[in-house]
Chains A and B, each alone.
Chain A
Amino acid sequence: MRYVLRRLGLFLVTLWAALTVNFIIPRVMPGNEAQAIIANFHGVNPAALHALEIEFGVNVHQDVIVSYFQYLANCFTGQFGLTAQRLPVLTDIVSKLPWTLGLVGVTTVLAFLAGTFVGIVSAWRRGGRLDGVLPPLLFIVSTFPVFFVGLLLIYVFAVTLNWLPLESNYSIGATPSLSPQFIGDVLAHAVLPGASLVIVTAGLWIYSMRNNMITTLAEDYVKMGRAKGLPSWRIMVDYAARNAILPNLTGFAMQLGYVLGGSILVEYVFSYPGLGYLFYTSTTDHDLPLMQALFLFYTLAVLICVLLADFATAALDPRTREA
């Protein structure tokens, strides 16, 4: 219990740090961009405008400390101001969210499951055919920049072979519905961006799972299991893998930040209109309110996953429950 509480403390401190970074950066960085952006909004939506003025420290004739707390309050009530297109930031984010959530969620789970499985098996049959090929190959591939893998996939499967669509989330002119055609269209558009993310992340899971497994397999309790004559799949899964997976669970959450970063690049490569592409356009449009809200959003997403991973660790590892 104390373990979970301590992690909850880290959660709050990190969230606070992200909020504070957002508050401080516009105040200490050179340039008057914030001023120009806010000038753009005059006469639009007084409440949202005021929230932005507080966030960026423009036209605010009050103590910085007071502004700071007002800004924190605004963030907690979801008032992030307006995008350059004069839409509420939150509305814009929520409308793009499902695409990224689908893409990142599915690929992360797939890569984790596949990578962990291959890691377990290749450590179990160490020096075997699988172990000799997949871990080193995918480890090298995992160091490739995700956008390079994306470009390569586009070149091969979209431009050269013309099997799959080049960009976007569904075909131009298709009307969103639950019809099989439309769902098929969406899936076809998601294959290449998803594959880029899986290819780049699976290797890291294999690598860490394999190394954890090798360490665990040398433990006495594994020998004990063998001596007791347990079936080997039970030793592999219940004795070795259950312990070896613990560091990976913590890594899972850390990894998510990496995957989310990767998804920004992938969405840019494929012009896939999710949060990552929104992030990219917010930098080219100098849409600072949107950009900072997205940074907060990504941080929050990672934090929630860190917390979930902590709960999972506590459930799997009795030692953390007692400590």
Chain B
Amino acid sequence: MNESTAECNSGSRRHFLASGAMNVSGVALAWLLAQNRSLAEVKKPDLQQRVHDTTPKVPPGEPKARAMISLWMQGGPSHHDLFDPKPEMAKHDGKEFPGEIKYDNAAQSSSKVFHSPWKFQPHGQSGIELSELIPHTASIADDICLIRSMHTGVNNHGQSIRALQSGRTVEGRPSLGSWLTYGLGSESDSLPAFMSLIDPGQLPVLGVENWSNGWLPSIYQGTVVRPTEPRILDLTPPAHLKGNAQRRALEYLEQLNANHLAAYPGSLDLQARIASYQLAARMQTSATEALDLSQESKKTQEMYGLHEKATADYGSRCLIARRLIERGVRFVQVYTANQLWDSHGSIITRLPAACQKVDRPSAALVKDLKQRGLLDTTVVHWGGEMGRLPVVQNDAGKAKIGRDHNTYGFSMWLAGGGFKAGHVHGKTDEWGHKAVEDVVNHYDYHATLLHLFGLDHEKLVFNRSNRDQTLTDGQPGQVVDGILA
């Protein structure tokens, strides 16, 4: 069960200490600190008013990546049918599953083994085996690092999304994009550092929480780009204000705000709003230009599938993501619709339809970044919050069957930004149920990602109420050497 106290919105929670983040009582904490200073360095309160901004920061380590595009497959794509072939299971298809299974939906559960009805083949020089449902992804097999041993272990959407998007299963924490922009700033001064490209359907599960800044300052919040034109509302000044008139008006506004700020020096909220006007003014030209896909050649547009109904939407958003990254945006996430991949039933028809939407655009993004020399420094991530079970759900005839949640072993892929290309990492058991070899937990994935950006997951801290907070929050995250180039 997903419990949260009346979740309201994303936004600044600077003064809010998420209660769930700390399960250690006060007295125990005092004891802990006394036992081992390195666990949580005792600090004096920060007396200086910090100024938070998004100017570019030099990471302490050697960075391989400087930007990231996350193609977020909400709902949990079936690794059995896309990435993780288990030919041996064919013999058991329809028979009793011999082991134990943890179901999410007990009401529709069955123990009938469900062997993938789709064919797998090795692709590229690397010979990575991929399903016939994703032929375009197959064409970039030599560019991707496929992890077949992902694990979050919390079998429902909300919590597993939180694990992957914000480091822990609890509510109220900053998302990955917020951490990256907090740590590294942005290389663009005219676009938001962190942008979320949402689907025309319903928002993904957890909605705005996906790009929340949690308790980081609000300038690290993701900016939503609308799925249809106009992608950003009110981006164009009214005719009579265009040009000098508005420039002068904003100078006047800034003067008003400066007078006001003088009475409250050090107010982060007031400063953030002043900065947001400056950014908004610059976005009028730069975002308009960045979002204008007509500047792309017909060849590029077709590569992303803009000419076809099934791929036009996701393709446009992938193409926008590339344009944003080119212009210095740090983190872009491209969402699929609410539960698109949540194949509880009718997987036979729904899964191919979902693949058709995203397969071509996803592969095009990687190819396009590569041909522009951007792939080396840009991480592309493709994956959702879970995989599926090896058994049938909703055993009500072939047209209706599906697969239930599985967060004990699932697949996702990464490309570029220092990830090893043409590589498969980790294994699930013979049934594709649990990750058994080279298991990658969400915190390992996060530690590795930050490492590639030149950041140490234990050292990228935000001091909140005199306690240093991190993305991995004390979980035993390890940089996964096996997936580094």
Q: Please determine whether chains A and B interact with each other in the same assembly.
A: no
Residues of A bordering B, CB below 8 Å: none
Residues of B within 8 A of A (CB): none
